[in-house]
A = this chain, B = another copy of it.
Amino acid sequence: MSNPEDTAPKQENGAVAAATAPPAADVESQTTAATGFGVSEIVSRWRREDLLRRRALALRGCGLILSLLAFVVMACNKHGDWKDFDKYEEFRYLLAIAILSTLYTGVQVSRQVRELSTGTSMFPLRKSAIIDFIGDQILAYLLMSAASSAIPMTNRMREGSDNIFTDSLVASICMSFFAFFSLAFSAAISGYKLSTQSYI
Contacts and interface: CB of A to CB of B under 8 A. Distances in A.
A89 B149 CA distance: 12
Interface residues of A, number: 23
A10 to B, nearest CB: 17
Most B-side CB within 10 Å, residue of A88, A184, A195: A195
A141 interface: yes
B141 A184 contact: yes
> How many copies of this chain sit in the oligomeric assembly?
2
A196 B197 CA distance: 10
A141 B147 CA distance: 12
Interface SS of chain A: helix
Nearest to A138: B184
A43 to B, nearest CB: 18
A89 B195 CA distance: 39
Given A191-B191, A196-B196, A199-B199, A148 B144 contact: yes
A89 B155 contact: yes
Nearest to A151: B149
Contacts of A188: 137, 191
Interface in A59-109: 88-90
Nearest to A195: B195
Nearest to A156: B89
Contact of A149 (B88, B137, B152, B192): B152
Most B-side CB within 10 Å, residue of A88, A144, A146, A184: A144
A145 interface: yes
A158 to B, nearest CB: 12
A110 B23 CA distance: 56
Interface of A: 88-90, 137, 140-141, 144-149, 151-153, 155, 184, 188, 191-192, 195-196, 199
Given A144-B145, A191-B192, 9 more contacts: A88-B152, A137-B188, A144-B148, A146-B148, A148-B148, A153-B153, A192-B195, A195-B195, A199-B199
